[in-house]
Amino acid sequence: MTREQERARARRRAQKFDAKLAQKEREAARNRQAGVVVVAVLVVVAAFVFLSLRLGKQATPIAGQSPSASATSSASPTSASVAGCTPAPATPKAVKTQGLPAKSTAAGKTFTAVLTTNCGDITIRLDGAKAPQTVASFVSLARSGYFAASPCHRLTTQGIYVLQCGDPMGGTGTGPGYSYGIENAPKTGKYPAGTVAMARTSDPNSNADQFFLVYKDSELPTAGGGYSIFGTVTGGMDIVEKIAAAGVAGGSGDGPPAAPISILKVAVTEKKA
């Protein structure tokens, strides 16, 4: 083999090596791009799951509660002082279960519910025409005294704006002994200020005792069917707003309100035509 042939052969080997190296670099670049896409998808999925979980249970929220979100019977070091509020009562250690009332007891009817709290009265109009089972349940629980000494155990101040109440055991109870499905949930996921809706878990049939008051326009996840709207706050929204203004205990955006608020009793009357 001549020297020129050797040089040509060396050039061919170098060209092959360069081609293989370039191919490996292209494959590595594609892999890096694919990795970035996967990470981005995981971030989006994680964000959606986080938002969904922020609003749910009965024990972990979808439109519901936050873990360990129980109200206290007296002011704690993180409690805020809010004008017009008296000390909240002690949280009950147990609740009496009962049966699910027939939706016919509320169908087509309108009720007025007055929630007497340690911070004042909050008045709600209940719409039995749009949410008969939900209203029937709420009226039955109210009239049985189920909500007495019931702390509003969860406040959210970031992304969604709700005060959640309804579990006499402060978000750690198992409910009244029954559950039921979703009614009158907006397909848009929009819940205007003043809306009263049911909290639930990821199970669309987990509506029971917990409900939330929306104090600022909020948009909630529609996955699973949304949340049952059954009423509107017609008086006392200023109470909810001042509790919200006091923030969350510990300074986070989701948890027990820094200013403890509890339902002392609920009086319900049917509005006659």
Is pLDDT of 187 > 90?
yes
Sheet with strand 110-117: strands edge to edge: 150-151, 262-271, 110-117, 120-127, 229-235, 195-198, 211-214, 162-165, 154-156, 254-255
pLDDT at residue 56, rounded to an integer: 43
Is pLDDT of 19 > 90?
no
Local confidence band at 7 (pLDDT 50, 70, 90 cut-offs)? low
Task: Look at domain 57-271 and name its CATH class.
Answer: mainly beta
- Please tell me the total number of residues recorded for the chain in this structure: 273
**Which residues are 271's β-sheet partners?**
110
User: Where along the chain do its domains lie?
Assistant: 1-53, 57-271
Give per-residue pLDDT as tens, 231-269: 999 999 999 999 999 999 999 999 999 999 999 999 999
- 3-state secondary structure string, the chain? CCHHHHHHHHHHHHHHHHHHHHHHHHHHHHHHHHHHHHHHHHHHHHHHHHHHHCCCCCCCCCCCCCCCCCCCCCCCCCCCCCCCCCCCCCCCCCCCCCCCCCHHHCCCCEEEEEEEECCEEEEEEEECCCCHHHHHHHHHHHHCCCCCCEECCEEECCCCCEEEECCCCCCCCCCCCCCECCCCCCCCCEECCCEEEECCCCCCCCECCCEEEECCCEECCCHHHCCCEEEEEEECHHHHHHHHHHCEHHHCCEECECCCCEEEEEEEEEECC
Give per-residue pLDDT as tens, 194-241: 999 999 999 999 999 999 999 999 999 998 999 999 999 999 999 999
Local confidence band at 13 (pLDDT 50, 70, 90 cut-offs)? low
Local confidence band at 3 (pLDDT 50, 70, 90 cut-offs)? low
Higher pLDDT, 171 or 23: 171
The maximal CA–CA distance of the chain, rounded, in angstroms, is 112
- What is the average pLDDT across 149-162? 96
Is pLDDT of 76 > 70?
no
User: In the predicted model, what is the mean pLDDT of the chain?
Assistant: 83
Local confidence band at 1 (pLDDT 50, 70, 90 cut-offs)? low
* Measured CA distances, 243 to 219, 246, 261 (Å): 21, 5, 8
- What is the average pLDDT across 159-175? 94
Local confidence band at 10 (pLDDT 50, 70, 90 cut-offs)? low
Give per-residue pLDDT as tens, 96-106: 999 999 999 99
Local confidence band at 6 (pLDDT 50, 70, 90 cut-offs)? low
